[in-house]
Structure 1
């Protein structure tokens, strides 16, 4: 057997050690054999191997020749490592010394090869018994090494392989139990590892979702406490971290399955459907989210329902609901925003969307732009459809959605099953998972698949939707002209109770990526002209895409990203880079704009349809490619906003 180790590492000394240090180390190693329950034959063979290495390194001429051989091997340019040839009778002792030298993974692989079938375990065979002990110890040590490197799925695979080996050998039940415990405790880290991978790694992400469901099921649901290895606070932080790696569709699917037995999941389902409906201009999803909130019968949700009614164009009902149900603190805050009741509701709705609805999804980037939302043709068509009179005998239309394909190849909403989504479980606009709230005792009502469209109202809801846009413009003008009283807060007051708080950090969140050093601004950027041309808008977008590529490649941007994009996009970029850093990975991204057409333009907002050629490749810590590269032709809709005289990239979405 060849051991991938040299005499210096086997003995545990430095190549610069003198004779006295060498002999002292030898004696210490002999006097302190490992306590793994190995047989005396293996321990004696271990001592012989140690003495053989010490004899060679103590002889000046032999040591010089050996060091020359190591130097020649290192300078040969070949990917060859030094190794020691161990006789068959000494292989178990050699593997033990390899484990002691800190090469647990190599030791485990060699032990597995030595115990590979068709070699069947022989009762009373001391060699197999010692190899089985070494397999268990090396497996535990190798998994611990991988855990420290944050290679959680690799650690799990090693533990699973060790368990299978020990079960086949039918030995070491105590070590098997240790392996099972380690594997069980590794589950949250595996979920984080698998779900943080690229969206193209579908098999790994599907496995991560399955592990997440197992973990929550074992706890007894999101609000459960059935997992002694993970307390409520740990689970709470873990869950918040996991959500950032899930797409909106993944969250909708998984929370739909949890909603029937979890008030928190039910609330998350409504929030996710609202986020999806607003960002993708699908009001029917917001209608489903509103139905879910209403069916939950939880107290304090009426202001949120008012926001959903507003987004559905039911302005009169929205205003009435907000006026009737909003607590005094929230009403006082709204009155500070504008004297007009409709503008007050719009301000609260925009704030709710920006803080509690739209953040928290891996693939969703949208601004809480109510004007753009109501200007969308699909939204206008939905509002007009609801405004048409219907025959009393007409059958209500089935609630079905047409969506893009997703992981499980199911429709977004099955009319015969409960639905759901995911969002922050913060109620009434500002409560979050890490706030302690009183648990709701109300009983959850089941979701009804068949439902009637809301009663029609006059005047036309399309007309009212246009009024909402006008009110928003008025609100902006009022807020610019009216000075704010000293000490007055522009942040809405949290007034509604949240669903039962969810128990979550298992792994600590990755450290934030430091802001890149500021580079000298060019003559064109930041973009400050009043009415930029298409070429200037394209230059701004190209600079942002170049900055993203540089940061995800582990480099500095040529100019500060804060002058190119809004804080929401910069935050998402920094979070993605932090996730890559935690795994020791980088991304090589190439994006070129092949076409840009400005579709909408006003004083502080520009919307453009952009055609891009996109490719990316993920690299590991050694700089080697991981997985297949992605190459796409994209058609996106980018929105640019002007704040403080500077134009920035505000959001983007898939263009129709």
Structure 2
């Protein structure tokens, strides 16, 4: 056989069958049957499938008979020499053995011998496997490069469009984490990685149709998970980046982006002495005033523009009694409310606005410095036309609890700041719980920059925090300042923040997990609910199971018969260990054909370790017991 038209691979018959050299003759036939049942992906051609069966059968024949095995050893074959028609099946055997790096090293040689769709498919799958391993190890850059290499291989042969789409979907599922990684580096000067991160973010928002949108970006993120992503994203963005981003998003229009754009413009205007930025912030806020009480923000803008009378009108318009009382108390000896508003502005910007920007968190900025800026002095010395007054807000309408209007869940768009800010604000908040129907309370919190999770005592006097405003009809964007969230958590926390879950709540959680499992391993492989219920190792393991099932063209149909809690141990407010018996019918389908040999109808016992996360209870560990 001409070596230029053949491929030599380090494969023995033992490796092909997946048995050790010490195996008995009786072990060979069952190993052959198992390997034959492990069919390759359906995208491989009939020729490769047939060649694979041929080599498996030949290995079984050679190793299953004492005389033939002796002959095989005597010949001393050190590998397989395959011509172009069988090269792809040899590569497939290496892939099934997990020899991904060996495959990559032979990539150029393999394509020179047999440049066929089957060859390109197995090489692309090797890159995909390496990508998934890199992802599990937290190396998103390498994972991204491996998937891109897999796509390049398939595009080079202009083949296997469905597999290309699958790889594109994988990149999009990893895209949020990739964005966070790219934007974690230095922001000044902007690097190519940072520019790539911002471009990916723009594409993601476009596919989701904005912050409040319902578009499918193929990331698998639920609305709550997307909100958590935005929480961490803002910590990595500068004022300039947030200005550009949220100004663009506000044009959709997006009430959420409108408020965030106002925050970015205020942060820029105050720290850089730019009244024009403050005026743009005021313009965004005026568009929101009909939906929500943003009068204190407007009062701050008016103060920075030197419009004291307008600022006073905004304060009087505000329905936030505690904050207004604080401002008035500090202004008792003054003919106007200027002293209290100045103190409120300094603290509000320092503790709630600037922490949301990576390049403003560590600086010290004051009203004195702002008004001393030459551009501000020139602006104030030049007579300005009287600003158009903000329209009177319409009465907020209450939405029935549980209504869905494309809103963002309250309390999710958050950016935490220091403990001191939490202590100061904790004693000033209204004790009323948030209404779930107050759809965009979260947007104010994203601008404000922190989430108060429990009430604490106040160590020193502080400005009155802004009480939560009445619930509004979606898409009303802004509520004032946060009150402690007391609504039920997404899973089960009705027993109270400091109380361990009851048996009934644990049973409900585990039944929810069974539903999530059915969705993840079912025909559509929907993982959104699964991702919200798992954390740590189980989340990675089950995501891998789903991916393997999808690639193999498999899915399960589960029917839960019964779930019994046998034992609850180590019951604590933030952790609990549970042993349960699950009885279910599980049918496996491959290429829409039932596989009775791998289906089952029986009970089994599982030990779960449940931990309490900010978004509710999650499964941290699970182990099937004998």
Distance 1:115 1:50, change over 3 A: farther
Residue 81 of structure 2: aligned partner: 87
Say if 2:277 is the partner of 1:285: yes
- Is the 2:210–2:252 Cα contact (8 Å) retained in structure 1? yes
Q: How far 1:213 moved relative to its partner? A: 1.1
Which residue of the other structure, out of 348, 352, 374, is the alignment partner of 2:368?
374
SS at match of 2:210: coil
Q: How far 1:39 moved relative to its partner? A: 2.8
Residue 222 of structure 1: aligned partner: 211
- Is the 1:104–1:139 Cα contact (8 Å) retained in structure 2? yes
Residue 385 of structure 1: aligned partner: 378
Distance in 2 between the 1:120 and 1:107 partners? 14
SS at match of 2:267: helix
Q: How far 1:201 moved relative to its partner? A: 6.6
Distance 1:9 1:315, change over 3 A: farther
Distance in 2 between the 1:52 and 1:280 partners? 80
Residue 144 of structure 1: aligned partner: 132
Residue 344 of structure 2: aligned partner: 348
Say if 2:199 is the partner of 1:210: yes
Which residue of the other structure, out of 247, 255, 263, is the alignment partner of 2:238?
247
Mean CA deviation greater in 103-112 or 44-53 = 44-53
Residue 28 of structure 1: aligned partner: 31
Residue 50 of structure 2: aligned partner: 40
Deviation by residue 1:123-154 (Cα, 9 ceiling, x = unmatched)? xxxxx353244234334423322332333343
Residue 22 of structure 2: aligned partner: 19
SS at match of 1:493: coil
- TM-score for both structures, normalised by structure 1: 0.49
Distance 1:7 1:286, change over 3 A: farther
Distance 1:112 1:495, change over 3 A: farther
Distance 1:31 1:380, change over 3 A: closer
Residue 582 of structure 1: aligned partner: none
Residue 318 of structure 2: aligned partner: 325
Q: How far 1:267 moved relative to its partner? A: 1.6
Residue 233 of structure 1: aligned partner: 224
- Write the mapping of 1:532-547 to structure 2, written as runs, cut at 5 A: none
Distance 1:248 1:85, change over 3 A: farther
- Write the mapping of 1:97-136 to structure 2, written as runs, cut at 5 A: 97-104=93-100, 106-108=102-104, 110-111=106-107, 114-115=110-111, 128-136=116-124
SS at match of 2:355: coil
- Is the 1:283–1:379 Cα contact (8 Å) retained in structure 2? no
Deviation by residue 1:158-213 (Cα, 9 ceiling, x = unmatched)? 33433343344354444344333323333323323322334367222212211211
Distance in 2 between the 1:53 and 1:274 partners? 77
Distance 1:18 1:193, change over 3 A: same
- Is the 1:279–1:366 Cα contact (8 Å) retained in structure 2? no
- Is the 1:264–1:425 Cα contact (8 Å) retained in structure 2? no
Say if 2:467 is the partner of 1:493: yes
Mean CA deviation greater in 265-274 or 338-347 = 338-347
- Is the 1:274–1:285 Cα contact (8 Å) retained in structure 2? yes
Q: How far 1:374 moved relative to its partner? A: 1.0
Distance in 2 between the 1:167 and 1:308 partners? 54
Distance in 2 between the 1:437 and 1:87 partners? 69
Higher relative CO (Cα under 8 Å, sequence separation at least 6) belongs to: 1
Distance in 2 between the 1:338 and 1:29 partners? 88
Residue 178 of structure 1: aligned partner: 166
Distance 1:138 1:387, change over 3 A: closer
- Is the 2:246–2:261 Cα contact (8 Å) retained in structure 1? yes
Deviation by residue 1:540-572 (Cα, 9 ceiling, x = unmatched)? xxxxxxxxxxxxxxxxxxxxxxxxxxxxxxxxx
Distance in 1 between the 2:320 and 2:352 partners? 18
Q: How far 1:261 moved relative to its partner? A: 1.6
Q: Which runs of 5+ in 2 are unaligned?
A: 1-6, 388-412, 417-424, 442-457, 479-626
Q: How far 1:285 moved relative to its partner? A: 2.3
Q: How far 1:232 moved relative to its partner? A: 1.8
Distance 1:389 1:492, change over 3 A: closer
Distance in 2 between the 1:196 and 1:22 partners? 57
Which residue of the other structure, out of 262, 266, 270, is the alignment partner of 1:274?
266
Deviation by residue 1:428-477 (Cα, 9 ceiling, x = unmatched)? x999x99863469xxxxxxxxxxxxxxxxxxxxxxxxxxxxxxxxxxxxx
Distance in 1 between the 2:23 and 2:272 partners? 74
Distance 1:170 1:382, change over 3 A: closer
Distance 1:342 1:96, change over 3 A: same
- Is the 1:108–1:139 Cα contact (8 Å) retained in structure 2? yes
Q: How far 1:252 moved relative to its partner? A: 1.2
Q: How far 1:241 moved relative to its partner? A: 2.0
Say if 2:257 is the partner of 1:265: yes
Distance in 2 between the 1:265 and 1:384 partners? 30
SS at match of 1:154: helix
Distance in 1 between the 2:373 and 2:168 partners? 57
- TM-score for both structures, normalised by structure 2: 0.51
Q: Which runs of 5+ in 1 are unaligned?
A: 67-83, 122-127, 397-422, 441-478, 503-656
SS at match of 2:251: helix
Which residue of the other structure, out of 286, 298, 304, is the alignment partner of 1:305?
298
- Is the 2:236–2:357 Cα contact (8 Å) retained in structure 1? yes
SS at match of 1:87: strand
Distance in 1 between the 2:352 and 2:161 partners? 49
Deviation by residue 1:595-618 (Cα, 9 ceiling, x = unmatched)? xxxxxxxxxxxxxxxxxxxxxxxx
Residue 438 of structure 2: aligned partner: 437
Say if 2:160 is the partner of 1:166: no
- Write the mapping of 1:50-89 to structure 2, written as runs, cut at 5 A: 87-89=81-83
- Is the 2:322–2:464 Cα contact (8 Å) retained in structure 1? no
Distance 1:129 1:368, change over 3 A: closer
- Is the 1:46–1:93 Cα contact (8 Å) retained in structure 2? no
